């Protein structure tokens, strides 16, 4: 199979034109193609008057491929290497069923692989199934009555269920391909396999999550919603079971294997694990704000006269800079044509994030604008100090917003002038619990707001018009990643008071080993493999 890189076409080009362009590069007649597939597609919008789609394609031809390779430009034509996931052999002898705590991407992929290996995992998830959870979330947004167990952070599908379903990742692990192919198998559009900025949207994610659940159940796995891990039963440095709570009652389940795939917001569970002596350390994270512009405005900034072209979709952006304040500041988790959402999971604390549907056709586009926070900013060296810092910010925001989960928001112009907004301008806030004109400098640490102010001006130079005076800053975005890492040993099990704690596997974002849906899924696979390799 041959791989042809860097085929540049206009967004108007048809599939046939792509086919012909590929044939031209390798000087082969299109009728000699035995197979043809898109490997990668990206958008080059550096020249707004000449936006291009850039393709890499894989082709099998009815001709001598080595001769084609020899006579072609080595930078453009290479031998195609495909990745195929190699399942790990099950060496486990234990008679116990593994327990997986948390049914987010990490827990789901771990449960899926263990189910396929015949281990019938016992999953507990504190939140509700995704349909009930969707009602819980909308009820919160409408009535401001927060369900602290079933919300944007907790429930079937995990934290990313109400998101853009963006599947971009910075990790290099080839197992990510496995995550993508499973997503497609369970109902995601095929384009996620080749798009440079793959996304599925919250609407499609919900169905994918249900399909994964059905396969696990069909293989004998069990998924128990509304069940919260409250204790680990430990003896002689080995786990012997778990205690969980359902409807106010406590239950024990005997096991020798527990996967902690609890996400970055299960603060009560992390506190319980800390009290049990599980070794954890502080971890840098980021805080900041959402910035919201009209979608059509961002589309024009990015795509010029091609804005709105169906082959391009709603425009994305990704920027990073090092402002005078010295902290890396970057845009994150952009939601083109999306909504700013309230993502609280604790009473009296306000958390902001973003989501979009697959169509990305809402009025505004939003993105997080984040500043790195280092352990030296946490205030003390307690392993859980980062959580306390997050809580302080979220409490302040709740109070400033009027104590009913209305979000404080400020125009970019007022933020840069450090004056409290008294009204919003042309950009209407999309926040799901409403927004009130405020001064968000009252919520976030000064280091953070100084860096954001400088970054806005720097980013305005990278993308002229980004610091639109009426653009809205809604805060706080405080849960971008976990402020804690649970240390793992070389077989992925955790430590307790200087010894390895047999059978307990920290996994995914909450344990500090992932940042996003794809990397959490990959870590779930990694932990499933570690369990299958363990011969005890």
Ligand X SMILES: Cc1cc2nc3c(=O)[nH]c(=O)nc-3n(C[C@H](O)[C@H](O)[C@H](O)COP(=O)(O)OP(=O)(O)OC[C@H]3O[C@@H](n4cnc5c(N)ncnc54)[C@H](O)[C@@H]3O)c2cc1C
The answer to the question of residue 269 lying near ligand X (CB under 6 A) is yes
Which residue in this structure is represented by tokens 């425009």?
315
CB 79 within 8 A of CB 60: no
Give the Å distances, CA to CA, from 500 to 269, 316, 489, 525: 20, 44, 7, 21
Give the β-pairing of 285-294 and 320-321: unpaired
- 442: exposed, middle or buried (Cβ count in 10 Å: 0-12, 13-18, 19+): middle
CB of 44 vs ligand X, minimal distance in Å:
23
Q: Which is nearer to ligand X, 36 or 197 (CB)?
A: 197
Please give the structure tokens belonging to residue 512: 């500090």
Among 292, 504, 516, 527, binds ligand X (CB under 6 A): 516
């979220």: which residue's tokens?
394
Our finding on whether 206 is near ligand X (CB under 6 A) is: no
- CA distances to 87, 216, 395 from 84, in Å: 9, 22, 47
Q: Which helix (H) or strand (E) holds 44?
A: strand 33-44
Q: Which of 454, 508, 512, 532 binds ligand X (CB under 6 A)?
A: 508
Residues in contact with ligand X, counted by CB under 6 A, come to a total of 44
Among 350, 510, 512, 529, binds ligand X (CB under 6 A): 510
- If one counts every other C-beta atom within 10 angstroms of the C-beta of residue 371, the result is 24
Range in contact with ligand X (rule: CB under 6 A) among 120-128, 247-255, 296-304, 381-389: 120-128
Stretch that binds ligand X, among 25-33, 320-328, 430-438, 502-510 (CB under 6 A): 502-510
- Contact call for residue 102 and ligand X (CB under 6 A): yes
Task: Please identify, using beta-carbon distances, which residue of 202 and 438 lies nearer to ligand X.
Answer: 202
Cα separation, 292 vs 294, whole angstroms? 7
Residue 232 has what DSSP assignment?
Answer: E
User: What's the closest the beta carbon of residue 98 comes to ligand X, in angstroms?
Assistant: 15
Which of the stretches 42-50, 426-434, 447-455, 510-518 binds ligand X when contact is defined by CB under 6 A? 510-518
Q: Which of 137, 193, 261, 278 binds ligand X (CB under 6 A)?
A: 261
For ligand X, the closer of residues 26 and 525 by Cβ is: 525
Q: Does 288 bind ligand X (CB under 6 A)?
A: no
Binding mask 449-488 for ligand X (x = CB under 6 A): ----------------------------------------
311 Rama class: left (phi>0) / alpha (psi -120 to 50) / beta: alpha
Q: Among candidates 359, 319, 72, which has minimal Cα distance to 199?
A: 359
- Extract the tokens encoding 68: 């084609």
Cβ nearer to ligand X, comparing 195 with 411: 195
Distance of alpha carbon 451 from its chain centroid, rounded? 24
Candidate segments 98-106, 187-195, 273-281, 434-442, binder of ligand X by CB under 6 A: 98-106
Min. distance of Cβ 425 from ligand X in angstroms?
26
Place of tokens 């080839």: 174
Nearer to ligand X, 68 or 320 (CB): 320
Partners of 250 in the β-ladder: 245
**517 near ligand X, judged by CB under 6 A:** yes
Q: Which of residues 411-440 bind ligand X (CB under 6 A)?
A: none
Residue closer to ligand X by CB (options 109, 415) is 109
Of 531, 535, 522, 505, nearest to 97 by C-alpha is 531
Restricting to residues 149-188, name those near ligand X by CB under 6 A. 152-155, 158-160, 162-166
The correct pick among 43, 124, 146, 453 for binding ligand X (CB under 6 A) is 124
- The distance of closest approach from Cβ of residue 89 to ligand X in the complex, given in angstroms and rounded to an integer, is 25
Q: How far apart are CA 261 and CA 111, in angstroms?
A: 11
Q: Is 75 left (phi over 0), alpha (psi -120 to 50) or beta?
A: alpha
By CB under 6 A, residue 266 contacts ligand X: yes
Q: Is 125 in the site for ligand X (CB under 6 A)?
A: yes
Residues near ligand X (CB under 6 A) are 101-107, 124-127, 152-155, 158-160, 162-166, 228-229, 261-263, 266, 269, 333, 341, 343, 353, 355, 508-510, 514-518, 520
């Amino acid at each position: 199979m041959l791989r042809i890189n860097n085929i540049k076409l206009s967004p108007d080009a048809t599939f046939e034109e792509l086919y012909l362009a590929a044939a031209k590069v390798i000087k082969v007649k299109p009728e000699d193609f035995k197979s043809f597939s898109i490997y990668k597609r990206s958008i080059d919008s550096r020249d707004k008057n000449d936006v291009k789609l850039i393709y890499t394609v894989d082709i099998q031809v009815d001709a001598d491929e080595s001769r084609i390779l020899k006579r072609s430009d080595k930078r453009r034509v290479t031998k195609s290497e495909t990745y195929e996931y190699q399942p790990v052999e099950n060496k486990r002898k234990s008679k116990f069923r593994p327990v997986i705590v948390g049914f987010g991407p990490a827990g789901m992929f771990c449960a899926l692989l263990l189910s396929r290996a015949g281990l019938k995992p016992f999953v507990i998830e504190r939140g509700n199934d995704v349909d009930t959870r969707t009602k819980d979330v909308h009820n919160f947004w409408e009535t401001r009555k927060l369900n602290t167990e079933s919300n944007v952070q907790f429930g079937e599908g995990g934290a990313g269920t109400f998101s853009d379903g963006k599947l971009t990742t910075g990790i290099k692990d080839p197992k990510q391909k496995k995550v993508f192919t499973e997503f497609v198998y369970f109902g995601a559009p095929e384009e996620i396999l080749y798009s440079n900025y793959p996304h599925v949207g919250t609407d499609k994610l919900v169905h994918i999550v249900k399909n994964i659940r059905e396969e696990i159940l069909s293989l004998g796995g069990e998924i128990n919603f509304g069940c919260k891990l409250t204790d680990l039963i430990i003896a002689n440095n080995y786990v012997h079971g778990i205690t969980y709570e359902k409807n106010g009652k406590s239950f024990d389940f005997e096991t020798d294997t527990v996967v902690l795939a609890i996400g970055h917001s299960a603060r009560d569970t992390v506190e319980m694990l800390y009290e049990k002596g599980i070794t954890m350390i502080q971890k840098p994270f980021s805080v900041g704000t959402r910035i919201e512009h009209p979608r059509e405005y961002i589309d024009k900034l990015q795509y010029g006269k091609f804005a709105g072209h169906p082959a391009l979709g709603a425009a994305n952006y990704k920027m990073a800079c090092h402002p005078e304040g010295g902290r890396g500041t970057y845009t994150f988790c952009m939601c083109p044509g999306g909504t700013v959402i309230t993502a609280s999971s604790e009473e009296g604390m306000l958390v902001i994030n973003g989501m979009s549907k697959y169509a990305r056709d809402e009025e505004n586009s939003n993105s997080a604008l984040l500043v790195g926070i280092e352990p030296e900013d946490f205030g003390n060296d307690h392993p859980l100090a980062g959580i306390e810092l997050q809580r302080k910010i979220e409490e302040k925001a709740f109070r400033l917003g009027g104590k009913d989960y209305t979000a404080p928001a400020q125009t970019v112009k007022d933020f840069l002038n450090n004056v409290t907004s008294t009204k919003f301008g042309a950009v209407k806030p999309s926040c799901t619990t409403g927004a009130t004109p405020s001064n968000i400098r009252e919520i976030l640490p000064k280091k953070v707001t100084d860096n954001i102010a400088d970054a806005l001006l720097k980013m305005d130079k990278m993308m002229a018009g980004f610091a639109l005076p009426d653009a809205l800053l809604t805060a706080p975005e405080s849960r971008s990643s976990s402020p804690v890492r649970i240390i793992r040993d070389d077989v992925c099990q955790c430590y307790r008071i200087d010894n390895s704690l047999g059978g307990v596997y920290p996994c995914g974002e909450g344990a500090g080993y992932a940042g996003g849906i794809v990397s959490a899924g990959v870590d779930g696979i990694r932990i499933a493999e570690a369990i299958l390799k363990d011969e005890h």
